[in-house]
Amino acid sequence: MAVFGPEQMLLPAYSGYFVALNPGPQVLEAAEQSQVLALVLQVLCALILIVLVLLLSLCLLQRYTKQVAEAQGVEMTLTNSFRYFIFIVSATEH
């Protein structure tokens, strides 16, 4: 910003409203990583991995039980698999 000084001389002046530009490279510092955010992210990844493993094992179990059921002449669906699983679990609890 330029202002007129004594004897109508043009003088440079700096204002608090403008950020002064300094020549040279600008160095940006990364913010520190939050420990809570990192822990939540790790727990979330672990839960997703557990769910994927459980779904994979369910699919493999379904395929195996379906093959065994077809060999025995029994129609095996996912609903029947759940019923059989619940039956086995309830039988072992008594």
Q: What is the pLDDT of residues 42-88, one digit of tens each?
A: 999 999 999 999 999 888 887 777 777 677 776 767 777 778 778 87
- Residue 1 reports pLDDT greater than 70: no
pLDDT of residue 2: 64
Whether residue 71 lies inside any domain: the answer is yes
**Domain-embedded: residue 24:** no
pLDDT at 91 over 90: no
Task: Give the separation between CA 68 and CA 81, rounded to whole angstroms.
Answer: 12
Q: Which domain covers residue 39, as residue numbers?
A: 34-75
In-domain check, residue 50: yes
How many independent structural domains does the chain possess?
1
Average pLDDT value over all residues in the chain: 78
Tell me whether residue 90 is in a domain.
no
* More confident call, 12 vs 1: 12
Residue 65, classified by CB atoms within 10 Å of its CB into exposed (0-12), middle (13-18) or buried (19+), is: middle
Cβ contact 21:41 at 8 Å: no
